[in-house]
Structure 1
Amino acid sequence: MSWLDIGPVDQIPLRGARVVKTRLGCVALFRTGEDEVFATSDRCPHKGGPLSEGIVHGRAVTCPLHNWVFSLETGEAQGADEGAIDTYPVRVEQGNILLDVSRLQGAAAA
């Protein structure tokens, strides 16, 4: 794994998100109300909505365009919706967010 320090976890509000731009597209970093951090692709597979602008609830995010709900843990759509988003390993060490960028390196710019 190749870990990149994204910055302090407290720069993301509880039940909020931030975006990191990569060569493979944007990665959304989410912080839950329970202070857990998750990383996923920022695009909803339904209509390309920016998931970082969605509503974080529990361990899920709701797309702001058409209310599709995705698990932040697995990326799978919940309920009657079908599809999935990419998820990426992330951890918090000494108050900083570390994102595994192994799958995000070496591709053409998005």
Structure 2
Amino acid sequence: MSWIDIGHIDDIPLHGARVVKTPVGCVGLFRTGAAEVFAASDRCPHKGGPLSEGIVHGQSVTCPLHNWVFDLNTGEAQGADAGRIETYPLRIKAGRLLIDGTAVGKRSAA
């Protein structure tokens, strides 16, 4: 893995989100706890809603358009809704957020 520094954990409010632009599209950074942040696609597969504008709760995010709930650990939609978002490796080192550059640097040839 090739880790890229994308900011400080304090740049993201607790139970909030921020967006970073990558070759694979916009990635949401979701802060679920004082020292816990997840990286996942910012686009809901249902209607393309911006997940970074949704509600962050527990280790999930709820889409602001139609209330689909996604587990930030797996990317899977919870409940009866079928769908999945991409998740990306992220780690925190001395308060800095590091994302796997290899994972967010891949773009499909489609």
Task: Tell me the TM-score normalized by structure 1.
Answer: 0.93
Supply the distance in 1 between the matched residues of 2:73 and 2:103 (Cα, whole angstroms): 17
| Residues 89, 100 of structure 1: 8 Å contact kept | yes
What is the correspondence of 1:90-105 to structure 2 with a 5 Å cutoff?
Answer: 90-105=90-105
Sequence identity percentage: 69
Supply the distance in 2 between the matched residues of 1:81 and 1:106 (Cα, whole angstroms): 27
The runs of at least 4 consecutive aligned structure 1 residues that moved more than 2 Å come to none
| Residues 3, 100 of structure 2: 8 Å contact kept | yes
CA RMSD of aligned residues (A): 1.3
SS at match of 1:78: coil
Give a deviation string over 1:41-66, Cα, whole Å, max 9, x none: 00000000000000000000000000
What is the correspondence of 1:70-89 to structure 2 with a 5 Å cutoff?
Answer: 70-89=70-89
What is the correspondence of 1:32-51 to structure 2 with a 5 Å cutoff?
Answer: 32-51=32-51
Supply the distance in 2 between the matched residues of 1:77 and 1:102 (Cα, whole angstroms): 25
Uncovered stretches (5+) of structure 1, i.e. residues with no partner: none
Count of aligned pairs: 108
| Residues 62, 70 of structure 1: 8 Å contact kept | yes
Aligned pair 1:28/2:10, yes or no? no
SS at match of 1:32: strand
When structure 1 is superposed on structure 2, of 34-43 and 51-60 the one drifting more is 34-43
Supply the distance in 1 between the matched residues of 2:76 and 2:19 (Cα, whole angstroms): 20
Task: Tell me the TM-score normalized by structure 2.
Answer: 0.93
